[in-house]
Structures are given as structure tokens and as C-alpha cells.
Chain A
Amino acid sequence: MGQPSMNTLKVTLPESADSQALPQGNIKMSARDVKVFYGASEALHGINMDIYENEVVAFIGPSGCGKSTFLRCLNRMNDTIDSARVTGKVTLDDQDIYDPSLDVVQLRAQVGMVFQKPNPFPKSIFENIAYGPRLHGLVDNKTDLEEIVESSLRRAGLWNEVKDRLDAPGTGLSGGQQQRLCIARAIAVSPEVILMDEPCSALDPIATTIIEELIDELKGSYTIAIVTHNMQQAARVSDRTAFFHLGNLVELSATREIFTNPQDTRTEDYITGRFG
């Protein structure tokens, strides 16, 4: 495999990626030389990455290495941080998402996000799901809306638990249920990509398993990028894994490859350190 250069690994070369039984398919999103500055300090030092359609890619790395920062570049959530500045190019279906002519509202409808801490709206379960479709005018009447709510909740595996209390506040659910509610809310607007930032860090093992199964089920129809500190989780759910270190993308390859045969010593140190 030769010497891995710091930022650009096989990532930028889909041909070489093929050899590792990576998901075949189109490039859904790609990042080129993405740098993020918080004020004067540079948090990401030029990231290059391609994310394929309908794959699950996991971001791992020590705390503070820039996983969340990079994830937020993919749906421009960094725009909401006053001090943050992004340079470089990020595309979705070959469209530059930082192009001034692109409406960030539309982008976020295409690239949904699930946050580390479950953050349902302090409204009813129904309203939580219905908000997105209504906002984007995806439905014409109440029946359609109810259909979307039901199907989203079903996909998130929450329907049976809440179908009798759709009017109950979303904040009254358990942590795991809340997180699934947030996932249902994200998929209710039929995004193409779902970004998840440590979605299970606040959950117990059972709820975690449910969410992991959910991710497994979603991956046929959604492209998913997930940040996790849980190596087993990365190994279980992802097709490919990206290892970040100090603002650099050190290595990105098939998950099995990363865990069995890491190319970079930093990756190896990190993984073995975790696995003991």
C-alpha cells in the first residue's frame, strides 16, 4: 500500500478502494482540502474524503481531533457557530454545498443530522415528526402527514411503543426512545444523507443495540456518516472507517481493514489502545 500520506489516502482514489471490497457506487459526498478555523486556530487541516451512496462510514479518533467539526461541514451546521470558518470544497451529488447560490435550508433537508444528546422538540411526538415535512411543504393534507409520521416512526422502530400516545410530549420518552424519535424526525423529510454525531453515547447497551440495528436497516436507502467512540460499534455498523487525529484524516479504508491491518501507526496505537 505504500506510505500513507497524511491527508489523502485511498480515499481520493476510488479505483484502489475497489480492491478492498468497498461498496460499489456513486460518490454521494466529497470533501476536498476542507479546513475549518475556529477564530484563528485551525481545527481541521485539509480533509479529503469521498462518501459513497448508501454506505455507512464511521469516524473515529481521540477526543478533540475534529470528527464533529468535519461532520458539521457536511450539512453546514458550522454556519451556526459564529467563530467557525470553512474553506475548501464539499460537494453533494457534484454540487458545491458552500456555493452561495445554494440554499442551506434545502441542503439540510437533503443531509439530515442526529445529535449526540437526544434533542426532541418540547412538543408532542406527532409534532416532532410532522414539523419537518410541514416546514418543507412535503404534504398536502393531513392524511399524507399522518402517513409520513407513521412510516417514519416505523422505520425508526418506535411505532409500536408510541402509537397510542402520539399526543404525549416527545420529551417524556426514555433516552433511547428520544434518540429514535430524533432519527425518525430526521428521516421524515427523506434526506439522502444522515449524519450522526455519537448518537448512542447517552444510551444504555440495549438502546444502543436497537439504534445499531436501525442503522443497519437504514443503510440500504440512506448514506450514513456516524461519529463514534465505541470501536465495536464502528466495527459492527460501518462499511468503512475513517480515523482522525489532531485535525487530520489519517486513514480511511474498509472497516475490517482498519481494525485488522491498520496502515498507520497512529491508527494502530489508537485501536490497540482501545482494544487492549
Chain B
Amino acid sequence: MSEEKKPVQNSSCLSGTGVTKIFGMGKEKTVAVDHVDFQFREGEIVSIVGESGSGKTTLSKMLLGLISVTEGEICFQGKPRDIKGYRKKKEYWKGIQAIFQDPFSSFNVFYKIDQVLLDCIKMRGGARLPYEKKVEMMTEACRFVNLKFEELTNKYPFELSGGQMQRLMIARIFLLKPAILLADEPTSMIDACSRATILDMLLKLRDETNMTIIFITHDIGLAFYISDSIYIMEHGKFVESGTAEAVILNPKAAYTKRLINDVPKIHEEWDLSTV
């Protein structure tokens, strides 16, 4: 896969300097994200790798504008990001979307699945389309992630399996086609076989729409497999960053080396064989 990677020269779509998030105050203060600098380019696949609790989800929520930034600045398409007020936020979210880490808590359990997908169509300005057309779009989106819309329609989220929910989340992205996608461990509950297919789907989507994908994962092997550049996160800080090859084949930080060594043997062989 890595041989196919295009050289990255596109313009920056999302960047940040000194971005920090501190939860709580006084003694109970947690520095979840600690002065991180980054620059994500258009059409790039970026992986943020780090162990549990390192602040990956917190960073992605800040990038999405769902939680406030304690300190630092985020630039969106070259300009300082301005998302004050409901209207600006709504506009911002047309361009940046997410797949959340825990599919079980990602859906409103009181509404049918159809509603989630219909909202996406509406967001893309398709509110007035005839219902048959909408069904067609939803069916296509579901097919994209190996789901059958006929089986899902009129069901509630809690009637689905974790993997089905995650795939539904991806179907959402297919309908929305945002410029930037923040995927927080989007395939953690999908079996290895479908995982490869779905990741390929995401990559295909990237090729079609030149979507920037920010991929958050524990799995450094997976990150290497799909991404152009990798950021390694430890205790809220980026300890290492660069192109996938540079980071994995030539790790500098001790933490990165440890992460690479923790990858199971079969993985390692597979990793090396792809070089």
C-alpha cells in the first residue's frame, strides 16, 4: 500500500500551535493535551497513535469544536478558526465530521436509524428530495459499508451490534462526504476481515473526494499500513511526528520504539514485508 502513496504537497487544511486542554482546576487538574503543534494537509491520511489515556480523543474533540481549547490556536484552511455561534459551527461541521470511539454511546437510542441517515442528507441540502431518492441514497451508503438498509430501516440503534453501529457511522460519512474526517478508532469492533474492506472503502472515499482523514488508533501497525504521516502521542504531547516511513522505520523517541516492539510478531513480519 505504502508504495502507492502520493507525495504530499497539498495545502494545509487544519493546523495548530500550542494546543492545550486542561480539565478541572487546582489539585484535580488534568492536562489531557499539552501544547501540541501539528499540520494536516488536504487529502492526507494522518494517524495519531498513542496508548490509552494519552489524550487522542480530547484532541479530536477540540479539532471538531465540540470542547473548548484551553490554550493555543487552531487554523482551519489557513485562517484562524472562528466557530463562535451556532451558524458558524454548523457551517464548520459541513466540512469536518467524525466517527466516535464508542459506537454504543454515539446514537440517540430513542430515534430510529433512518433518522441518523436522513439528517445527513438534509445537511447536504437534500431535505426536499423525494423520499424514494432518499431511500436510494441511504441504501447506497449502507451498501458501501456492507450493510443492508432493508434490514436496518425502522430499527433502533440498540438493536444493532457494535460493529454494525460503527459501519453505520461510516455510512454517515459516505453521505456527508466532508473535507476532513476524524475517525476515532473507527474499526475497533469490526472483525479483521471486514476491517480491511472497510479501511479500503475509506481510502477509496479519500481518493474520490480528496478527503483528509485523521485516524486515531492504538495500533501502530494499522497506522503504518494506511497513513501518510504519523503523530505519536504520549501523555498529551506529540513525542514524534513525520511521514509514516520515517516514524516507523526510523523511530527516535523511546516511546515510539516501545510501541513498535509491542506489535505482535506476525504483525511485525507483515509490516516489514510491505516495505
Question: Are A and B associated in one complex?
Answer: no
Q: Which residues of B contact A (CB under 8 A)?
A: none
